[in-house]
Structure 1
Amino acid sequence: MAKRVVLAYSGGLDTSVIVRWLTDKGYEVITYTADVGQGEELAEIPDKARAAGAVEAIVEDIKEEFARDFCLPTLRALALYEGKYPLTASLSRPLISKKLVHYADKFRADYVAHGSTGKGNDQVRFELSVWALNPDIEVLAPVREWEFKAREEQVEYAKKHGIPVKATKEKPYSIDRNLWGVSVECGPLEDPWQEPPEDAYQITTSPERAPNEPEYVTIGFEEGVPRSLNGAEYRLLSDLILELNEIAGRHGVGRIDMVENRLVGIKSREIYEAPGALVLYEAYRDILSLVTDRFTFHYFMNHVPHEYAKLVYEGLWFTPLREALDAFTGRLARDASGEVRLKLYKGSVSVVGRRSPNSLYEEDLATYTEEDAFDHIAGKHFTKVWGLPLKVLGKRRS
């Protein structure tokens, strides 16, 4: 009986060659392609996969599952890797891994496979996620061990075997896209001193070419879930994110240029575009600060965003740590209902208004008018007690 493997398949050169390469080695290859909002036409994928040698080709729309179960928890954690990266590509890997394991069980396959390289982060994310869900399954990564040293060799192999691949020479960039954003690397971006060429950006307008007038958007939250955009209700979170990508992208919002620390120990220069995600981050941070008490909000901001981003980046999605952090952020989200108004202008996004039925802001305490209800005499005594340790320290020093 032939060995059976379920392959994460994009339809590009690498994974198309993998199908034939594994077939030549005696495997029955079943391809799995996830629609996570990459904006590509996937109707031709099954024919391409079978032409390359696949015995079965699965294409599945999982945009809403991705938005609801992966993007939303990460938003609630305000997770940004190294304070900048909203984990666009990182987030899709555990979900795709979950699907690979599911279909491996359904088709009784003993292997799953991916197209990641030996120096990338995705090999870790795929393999740790798969093993967390099925520790007995074996993961194959042909790109790490096959004989091809250059892309041109893969193109020749594809031609020899009649594999339908559009590319005939290396593109300057490696691009990964989903509804949460776009990651771009390689080509001229490998020089960290060089400004990213404009053609590297996929979904955002250059701030210099963005409209000369600002645009305002209002995002409505219900218990930490974005539900409305400019008053229009959205049944699907994925649709709201995609629409926000269009609006914010028009204004050049969401561009990130960074040198990040990869898991394998190297530094990598990447650019990202996440217009919708970054607008939602700004909005959610603000609504959370409005409805959360100082002690809890400070603890959250000091501990959760960094730790959550780190575990997503490092392939630790299917862990008790992530589940525990979700429980914490889920509790905070119960109070995060209301609206946030934001201003988009030439690459920048700023919050200009917020309101919530659960707001802890009290105008009569904050005001400096005659309506001021704050006890200023109490402030005098508070300062005296609060500063007592420093007063004692000052006496000792003098």
Structure 2
Amino acid sequence: MHSSIDGACPHAPPPGIRLISAHLVEVAHRFGASAIAHGCTGKGNDQIRFETSVLMLDPTLDIIAPLREWGLHSRPEEVAYACEHGVDVPEGTGDNPYSIDDNLWGRAIECGALEDPWSEPPHDVWTMTADPQETPDDPAVCETGFERGVPVSLDDVRMPLSELVVALNALAGQYGFGRLDLMENRLVGLKSRECYEVPGALSIIIARRALEDLTLERDVAHEKLDLERTWATCVYNGQWFSPLKRALDAFMAETQKGVTGVVRLRFLKGRCTVIGRKSARSLYDLGLATYDRDSTFDERAASGFLELQTLSLKTWAKVQGPDVLACEPLACDLVANPALR
């Protein structure tokens, strides 16, 4: 017995595929299925995300991929096959040549005119965001509240995350913010162009980044930047349930314990700008940062700090520096003429 979900988007954003995969396995177990089928082609990352997620949740399940096995070699052939068997496919036809996936977070669009990297995305690609040139001349300002890294309010009105995303989708989209035109490096080895509309998600990312800048300790903030790329790679490659992803989740969750506060955003002509941030957990100390006379920073301490900070480099510069720098064109004059040092 096999299990499948009708209408599963072949290129859905990774969290969507993760959710679909979990439900696929749950349904397979409920009905005693021995295999799961999906509609992915052989060249996309979607197949990797589905199959990796499914097999991590239940490695005993078999995978059936009809489009890899039935000799359907192009999207028109797939659409024609679906229509012959009574499955309506709105995308991929002459009137709508794109492959489109959408969910709460936004839309992913590919195919059609987008397959030419030199071609500007046609206007009909975008539906969640207005043309920035046609948006209002006066900006919109909103305040997004966070608790432990999770957005919980918009302009002091508390709401569930899903409602907040919908509200930010509408506000940011009205001002043309949230469009992405990307060349992606797929895990299978080819490049692909995709356009995304994610106004709410990008707004939240920008806001939370600003709040993290205010509340994260320096070393944690720097390390998080490096690990974010690894986390994103895990998600992009379908390793949502992997040991590495789970370990990174634990790190990310720890970093968010103090990320509570409010960020003020301004939307104007396709841009989203942070214009304010505040937090009771802020690590910004005006007394240390100010250049006024009431500064609490002891500038005399910097001398000893710099003496130790530069000690290793000074030692290197005295012993090995002249020989190494002599090979550098811009440093030749300094090495040859001590008077210029």
Q: One fold, TM greater than 0.5? A: yes
Kindly indicate whether residue 289 of structure 2 is the aligned counterpart of residue 366 of structure 1. Answer: yes
SS at match of 2:300: helix
Shift of 1:248: 0.7
SS at match of 1:260: strand
SS at match of 2:249: helix
Q: Deviations over 1:253-311 (max 9, x none)?
A: 1111111101110001111111111111111111112111111111111x211100100
Shift of 1:145: 1.7
Kindly indicate whether residue 191 of structure 2 is the aligned counterpart of residue 294 of structure 1. Answer: no
Shift of 1:169: 3.5
Question: Does the CA contact (< 8 Å) of 2:183 and 2:194 recur in 1?
Answer: yes
Alignment partner, residue 96 of structure 1: 20
Higher RCO (CA < 8 A, seq sep 6+): 1
Alignment partner, residue 258 of structure 2: 335
Question: Does the CA contact (< 8 Å) of 2:18 and 2:53 recur in 1?
Answer: yes
Alignment partner, residue 158 of structure 2: 233
Alignment partner, residue 169 of structure 2: 245
Q: Deviations over 1:27-85 (max 9, x none)?
A: xxxxxxxxxxxxxxxxxxxxxxxxxxxxxxxxxxxxxxxxxxxxxxxxxxxxxxxxxxx
**Partners in 1 of 2:177 and 2:20 — Cα distance?**
28
Alignment partner, residue 220 of structure 1: 145
**Partners in 2 of 1:215 and 1:380 — Cα distance?**
47
**Aligned CA distance change for structure 1 residues 88 and 394 (closer, same or farther; 3 Å):** farther
Alignment partner, residue 330 of structure 2: none
Paired residues for 1:230-379 under 5 Å: 230-234=155-159, 236-301=160-225, 303-379=226-302
**Partners in 2 of 1:166 and 1:258 — Cα distance?**
25
1:185 maps to a residue whose letter is E
Question: Does the CA contact (< 8 Å) of 1:252 and 1:346 recur in 2?
Answer: yes
**Aligned CA distance change for structure 1 residues 177 and 147 (closer, same or farther; 3 Å):** same
Q: Deviations over 1:89-112 (max 9, x none)?
A: 122111100000101111122221
Residue of structure 2 aligned with 1:384, choices 288, 307, 313: 307
Q: Deviations over 1:142-190 (max 9, x none)?
A: 11122444555555555655x1526493432111111112111111111
**Aligned CA distance change for structure 1 residues 131 and 377 (closer, same or farther; 3 Å):** same
Question: Does the CA contact (< 8 Å) of 1:88 and 1:181 recur in 2?
Answer: no
Alignment partner, residue 6 of structure 1: 3
**Aligned CA distance change for structure 1 residues 156 and 190 (closer, same or farther; 3 Å):** closer
**Partners in 2 of 1:315 and 1:11 — Cα distance?**
16
Residue of structure 1 aligned with 2:134, choices 209, 219, 224: 209
Question: Does the CA contact (< 8 Å) of 1:88 and 1:274 recur in 2?
Answer: no
Question: Does the CA contact (< 8 Å) of 1:151 and 1:169 recur in 2?
Answer: no
Unaligned 5+ segments in structure 1 are 15-86
**Aligned CA distance change for structure 1 residues 88 and 367 (closer, same or farther; 3 Å):** farther
Kindly indicate whether residue 39 of structure 2 is the aligned counterpart of residue 115 of structure 1. Answer: yes
**Partners in 2 of 1:110 and 1:243 — Cα distance?**
42
**Partners in 1 of 2:223 and 2:81 — Cα distance?**
55
**Partners in 2 of 1:158 and 1:305 — Cα distance?**
39
SS at match of 1:376: coil
**Aligned CA distance change for structure 1 residues 315 and 165 (closer, same or farther; 3 Å):** same
Q: Deviations over 1:2-40 (max 9, x none)?
A: xx322122189x9xxxxxxxxxxxxxxxxxxxxxxxxxx
Question: Does the CA contact (< 8 Å) of 2:83 and 2:89 recur in 1?
Answer: no
Question: Does the CA contact (< 8 Å) of 2:99 and 2:111 recur in 1?
Answer: yes
**Partners in 2 of 1:363 and 1:119 — Cα distance?**
54
1:6 maps to a residue whose letter is S
Kindly indicate whether residue 195 of structure 2 is the aligned counterpart of residue 198 of structure 1. Answer: no
Alignment partner, residue 68 of structure 2: 144
Alignment partner, residue 186 of structure 1: 111
State which drifts further: 383-392 or 214-223.
383-392
**Aligned CA distance change for structure 1 residues 272 and 357 (closer, same or farther; 3 Å):** same
Alignment partner, residue 29 of structure 2: 105
**Partners in 1 of 2:25 and 2:230 — Cα distance?**
27
**Aligned CA distance change for structure 1 residues 265 and 6 (closer, same or farther; 3 Å):** same
1:232 maps to a residue whose letter is V
Shift of 1:202: 2.3
**Partners in 1 of 2:242 and 2:89 — Cα distance?**
39
1:387 maps to a residue whose letter is T
**Aligned CA distance change for structure 1 residues 393 and 145 (closer, same or farther; 3 Å):** same
TM-score calculated relative to the size of structure 2 = 0.88
Shift of 1:393: 2.7
**Aligned CA distance change for structure 1 residues 394 and 9 (closer, same or farther; 3 Å):** same
**Partners in 1 of 2:43 and 2:79 — Cα distance?**
22
**Partners in 1 of 2:65 and 2:12 — Cα distance?**
22
State which drifts further: 379-388 or 171-180.
379-388
Q: Which is greater in Rg?
A: 2
**Partners in 2 of 1:257 and 1:192 — Cα distance?**
10
TM-score calculated relative to the size of structure 1 = 0.76
**Partners in 2 of 1:293 and 1:152 — Cα distance?**
53
